[in-house]
């Protein structure tokens, strides 16, 4: 289906740009920037295809994904001087990729007749997996492990797609759930909405005589 193919490449490009921007922010060389772009854009999808038992993961068998990553990475490197507020750009493109990969992975899992828990878990892992690998590679605490609403947005998007599947037009369902996932992430960023953080009580570390 054309809409799925277009969104799939758009999500790949968005995650690749996110990874490239993180590489640039951390002053990596061109190879390092490209590696982060590839890992961010393909990591989640590779995990998904391994889980569902797809013989050859899509990233290995379809060159369009690598081509999309190369073009996106080159474009962001060339156009970087026209862009400001890199941290915001990283999160915007990351949110786009999160929405697209979450919903399309939920759809792919449903075609493989996975149970609901498997669908939600795999869709979430696909959405956050590449970003987690990216952040670990630059020695940063992944967004999903912080207080920010990130994985929760993916879970809501996947659940919404699952329960609306068959009730409304497939394309409308895809667009709607991608937008909802993206919107939840962006609203939480704009208003600084966070999940609760458990803080241990301060302890007296003084040495008693």
Mean pLDDT by 10 residues, the chain (209 residues): 85 94 94 97 95 88 94 90 75 94 96 96 96 95 80 96 96 96 93 80 53
On whether the CB atoms of residues 103 and 174 are closer than 8 A, the answer is yes
For residue 60, tell me if it sits in a domain.
yes
Rounded Cα–Cα distance for residues 198 and 109 (Å): 34
For residue 175, tell me if it sits in a domain.
yes
The pLDDT score that the predictor gives to residue 154 is 96
What is the total residue count of the chain? 209
For residue 199, tell me if it sits in a domain.
no
The pLDDT score that the predictor gives to residue 122 is 97
- Kindly tell me the burial class for residue 28, based on how many C-beta atoms sit within 10 Å of its own C-beta (0-12, 13-18, 19 or more): middle
The pLDDT score that the predictor gives to residue 27 is 93
The pLDDT score that the predictor gives to residue 1 is 63
Rounded Cα–Cα distance for residues 108 and 26 (Å): 34
For residue 153, tell me if it sits in a domain.
yes
Q: What is the count of structural domains for the chain?
A: 1
Name the residue range of residue 83's domain: 2-190
The pLDDT score that the predictor gives to residue 196 is 80
pTM of the shown model: 0.89
Quickly tell me which residue has 């909405």 as its tokens: 193
For residue 145, tell me if it sits in a domain.
yes
For residue 204, tell me if it sits in a domain.
no
Q: Where are the alpha helices (DSSP H) in 26-85?
A: 30-52, 58-61, 64-79
For residue 201, tell me if it sits in a domain.
no
The pLDDT score that the predictor gives to residue 209 is 46
Q: From residue 186, how far is each of 7, 66, 91, 150, 181 by CA, in Å?
A: 19, 27, 8, 10, 9
For residue 49, tell me if it sits in a domain.
yes
């Amino acid at each position: 289906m054309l809409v799925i193919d277009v969104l799939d490449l758009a999500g790949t490009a968005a995650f690749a740009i996110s990874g490239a921007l993180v590489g640039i922010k951390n002053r990596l060389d061109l190879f390092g920037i490209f590696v982060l772009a590839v890992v961010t854009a393909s990591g989640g999808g590779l995990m998904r295809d391994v889980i569902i038992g797809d013989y050859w993961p899509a990233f290995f068998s379809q060159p369009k994904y690598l081509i999309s990553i190369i073009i996106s990475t080159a474009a962001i490197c060339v156009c970087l001087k026209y862009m400001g507020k890199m941290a915001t750009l990283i999160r915007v493109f990351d949110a786009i990729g999160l929405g697209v990969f979450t919903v399309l992975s939920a759809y792919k899992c449903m075609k493989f007749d996975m149970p609901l828990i498997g669908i939600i878990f795999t869709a979430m892992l696909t959405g956050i997996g590449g970003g987690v690998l990216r952040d670990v590679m630059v020695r940063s605490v992944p967004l999903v492990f912080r207080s920010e609403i990130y994985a929760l947005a993916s879970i809501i998007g996947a659940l919404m797609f699952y329960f609306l599947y068959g009730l409304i037009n497939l394309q409308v369902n895809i667009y709607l759930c991608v937008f909802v996932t993206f919107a939840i992430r962006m609203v939480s960023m704009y208003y600084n909405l966070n999940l609760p953080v458990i803080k241990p009580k301060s302890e007296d570390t003084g040495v008693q005589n």
